[in-house]
Amino acid sequence: MQYDCAGMELPPTESRKARCQTFPSAGEHAALWYFPQLTGGTLRVLRNALCIYAARIAPGFGIKRALLRLTGAQIAPHAAIGLGVTLDIFFPQDITIEDDATVGYNTTILAHEFMRYEWRRGPVRICRGATIGANCTVLPGVIVGEGATVSAMSLVNRDVPPGAFVGGVPIRLLRKS
């Protein structure tokens, strides 16, 4: 089953991949080669990268939140984002982190995937009160439900139900609330 932040069951087709849009490569080369025309240009990506990398080492949550909001990411006033957290530099505007959510040290949150002949883009939502442990990778299109916990060093490749405790590579349910 797939769930939104409030714990409401989503239709069966509303999986992580269903929330992502898939596009063919813009030319004969690997899809990543065409990132400037797909993302709004190299200057926009450079601005995003500078803000995101400055936020990685920012000492306070207010500074970190302000820098990440400059990229278009939706960061709630009481979200706690740890040292070294990296948001997607191409599509940070597709990332939402709600109040009282905690994102642990050195976690990466992606809103895109580039493959050889295609690429995907999808929104990521870390719901209220969710906790993402250190050194995790969250893939595009994922919803981490309200009050859910993701253990350290996990690959979040599918939705996490509200209140669940998951972990591993890829994640599996360790305990349901």
Domains defined along the chain, listed by start: 16-175 (2.160.10.10)
pTM score: 0.92
SS3 9: strand
- pLDDT value of residue 64: 96
Cα–Cα distances in angstroms (integers) from residue 75 to residues 14, 40, 62, 109, 121, in the given order = 24, 21, 10, 13, 19
Rounded to whole angstroms, the Cα distance separating 153 from 108 reads 11
pLDDT in tens, the chain (177 residues): 555 665 556 555 578 889 999 999 999 999 999 999 999 999 999 999 999 999 999 999 999 999 999 999 999 999 999 999 999 999 999 999 999 999 999 999 999 999 999 999 999 999 999 999 999 999 999 999 999 999 999 999 999 999 999 999 999 999 876
